[in-house]
Amino acid sequence: MKSKILGFFLILCLGLFLNSQEHEDVTINTRVESRCKLEVSTNFISFTKEGPDLGHSIIQNEPPVEVTVKITPRRNERVYLRIWVDSDLIDQRTGRKIDAENIYWEASKGFNNGNLSKAAPQVIGNWKKSGIWEGTITFYLLNKPDYAPGVYTLTVSMVLSPF
């Protein structure tokens, strides 16, 4: 009998406890925007041409450029990594030029090989899904015997964008 009364009392207390509680629901929203980030290991590349018999191409003096692309595109959006130039290599002292199209690159891990072009930006890579892509790019200068001695400079732009 005591156990029945004790059981009834426990059920009654539990019922009162559950009925006396209040609760509120909380809705959590988050908005993830389309975004992209480009990281490169260096902003300087150089070539050294010492003689006419060095072969077809001159490889950059520095280690390959490490490229990291981090993207979160919108649904059905494609993100492009492009490289473009708008001038030739110019020796600022003499005004002499080397055609920008004489520079090409070889890429790794899903990035595209290509050639610089003043006519249009060149696509190094494109992606349609969120992620992080890492690879390397190594630049080469065609070894032509008609380059005049000098120090030639060119600015190359790498652009990561969803169009």
Q: Report domain extents, the chain.
A: 35-161
For the stretch 18-56, pLDDT in tens is 555 677 889 888 877 778 999 999 999 999 987 666 688
Q: What is the per-residue pLDDT for 55? A: 81
Cα four-point dihedral sign 119, 124, 127, 131: negative
C-alpha gyration radius of the chain: 31
Predicted local distance difference test score (pLDDT) of residue 14: 54
The upper half-sphere exposure of residue 12, i.e. CA atoms within 13 Å in the direction of its Cβ, equals 6
Q: 13: part of which helix (H) or strand (E)?
A: helix 2-20
CA 7 centroid distance within chain: 67
Question: How do residues 95-128 score in pLDDT, each as one tens digit?
Answer: 999 999 999 999 999 999 999 999 999 999 999 9
Single-letter code of the amino acid located at 163: F
Beta bridge partners of 110: none
4, 41, 52, 100, 110 from 44: Cα distances, Å: 86, 9, 24, 16, 23
Q: Roughly how many angstroms between the first and final C-alpha of the chain, as a whole number?
A: 80
**pTM of the prediction?**
0.80
Query: Residue 80: what pLDDT?
Result: 96
* Count of residues in the chain: 163
Q: What percent of the chain has pLDDT over 90?
A: 68
Residue 108 near residue 135, CB atoms below 8 Å: yes
> Which class in CATH covers the domain with range 35-161?
mainly beta
